Amino acid sequence: MIVTLKSQAAQRTALSASLLALLISGQSRATLFTEGDELTLTYKNVYFNESADAIDTRIWGAERDEWVHGLFADYKSGYLGDWIQFEYGLAGVEDIHIGSRADNVTNLPGATAANGFKPDTLFGTQTAYIGTRYQGDGFRLHAGGGKKARQSAIYQDSLSRIQPATSVGFDLNADIGALRLYYTELYKMSQRDADNWGDDLRTYSGDKVDALRYYGGSYEVDNGLKLELAEAEAEDYIREHKARIGYRHSLQGHQAVQLRATYGTMKDSGSLYEDDGVPLGNIGGHDYALAEAGPLDARYYELSAGYRWADYSLTLNYSSVRGDDWNHNLVANEFRLWDTSSQYAWISSTPGSGTAWRTKTRSACSATPTLATWACLG
């Protein structure tokens, strides 16, 4: 059995010491678990400070001053009988401090003006998943179903708060040499500030979407060339496509040059789409809409070139959106994440296109490997 401790915190408190005690007791019970299983305990400490008067003048801006922390326990079994695996994750999150100027709390539910923006505590199942595998001559098959945070080339459950968003559905994957194929179908989603099993998928106007499906494949050549195709569809509502070609040339000292080109489309696809639009309301004397009236037809193109060191990367990126705005969710439950190198970068250009410099850093350290791994991410 492997036991791992991770900490992502602004301050390390006495709770970290109690986590270490949990680790020791967990190791003493290792014989009760299966061969190759893993238990991970993670403590997170997050501070949000946001102003509604931010320089980008976002219409959804809020006054936020919140300090929260949480404990996450994730268990993954080894493969029982070499073919079946279980995963279970439990999360507990509470506030440490909510500032007096806050008019919104984004990491926890239940904060309203009536209760002085005092949020509720989160405690519930984050992951409940069962999977199976089969390995043949030159191929591997994986299948599984349940609740977890999913990440793919065209759909991602949001990881932007202390607790990840999750989704409920099933997944199929096949690896055949350098070819990887996948298919996922989702029926429910649980928000970043919720501890329920999940809510039904909905359109902007509140109609139920029976399922959200995404599928695709990738092929990677030994010389560093990689091709990707993916499609996502909210049944009778929205359809999205993406094609990408990338090239990576490795250099000495864990350095590499990376190039890629991406093309994506998003269109309405069925009777649930709101052809008359969905108004958001009047904000600051201007009328805004969640969805504009008329059919949806958006396209984007992107070219990027980057250089990667062991812990850093620098990317020059050009993005161009044509047709409608690229801002419609596949379903209303989803927090739209555009898979672009410009996602959280400064952009200065004409509307619809942008050029951005992007930097990314990551570091890691470990201590007492015989007892635990202490991860330091920055």
92 and 192 assigned to the same domain: no
Residues 275-309: pLDDT tens digits? Answer: 999 988 777 677 878 888 999 999 999 999 999 99
Examine residue 125 and state whether it is found in any structural domain, yes or no.
no
Q: What is residue 50's predicted lDDT score, i.e. its pLDDT?
A: 84
**CA–CA separation, 300 and 305 (whole Å):** 17
63 and 161 assigned to the same domain: no
Strands (E), the chain: 2-8, 38-50, 64-76, 84-98, 122-136, 139-148, 166-176, 179-190, 199-202, 208-209, 212-220, 225-234, 238-251, 255-268, 278-283, 286-291, 297-308, 312-323, 353-361, 374-375
110 and 176 assigned to the same domain: no
96 and 143 assigned to the same domain: no
Question: Is the separation of the CB atoms in 320 and 352 below 8 Å?
Answer: yes
296 and 370 assigned to the same domain: yes
Q: How many CB atoms lie within 10 A of CB 256?
A: 16
50 and 181 assigned to the same domain: no
**CA–CA separation, 189 and 199 (whole Å):** 5
236 and 99 assigned to the same domain: no
Examine residue 75 and state whether it is found in any structural domain, yes or no.
yes
236 and 297 assigned to the same domain: yes
pLDDT by position in tens, the chain (length 378): 555 555 554 433 333 333 443 443 333 334 346 778 999 999 999 999 888 765 545 556 688 999 999 999 999 999 998 899 999 999 999 999 999 999 999 999 999 999 999 999 999 999 999 999 999 999 999 999 999 999 999 999 999 899 999 999 999 999 999 999 999 999 999 999 999 999 999 999 999 999 999 999 999 998 899 999 999 999 999 999 999 999 999 999 889 999 999 999 999 999 999 999 998 877 767 787 888 899 999 999 999 999 999 888 898 999 999 999 888 899 999 887 666 665 543 332 233 444 444 343 333 332 323 233 233 332
**CA–CA separation, 128 and 375 (whole Å):** 24
173 and 75 assigned to the same domain: no
Q: What is residue 8's predicted lDDT score, i.e. its pLDDT?
A: 54
Residues 313-354: pLDDT tens digits? Answer: 898 999 999 999 888 899 999 887 666 665 543 332 233 444
The domain spanning residue 354 has which CATH number?
2.40.160.10
301 and 367 assigned to the same domain: yes
Sorted by sequence, the CB contacts under 8 Å of residue 256 that are 6+ apart come out as: 248, 249, 250, 307, 308
Q: What is residue 372's predicted lDDT score, i.e. its pLDDT?
A: 31
Q: What is residue 331's predicted lDDT score, i.e. its pLDDT?
A: 96
Burial of 126 (0-12, 13-18, 19+ CB in 10 A): buried
Domain that holds residue 62: 1-116
How many distinct structural domains can be found in the chain?
A: 2
98 and 167 assigned to the same domain: no
Q: What is residue 24's predicted lDDT score, i.e. its pLDDT?
A: 39
Q: What is residue 287's predicted lDDT score, i.e. its pLDDT?
A: 80
Q: What is the pTM of this model?
A: 0.80
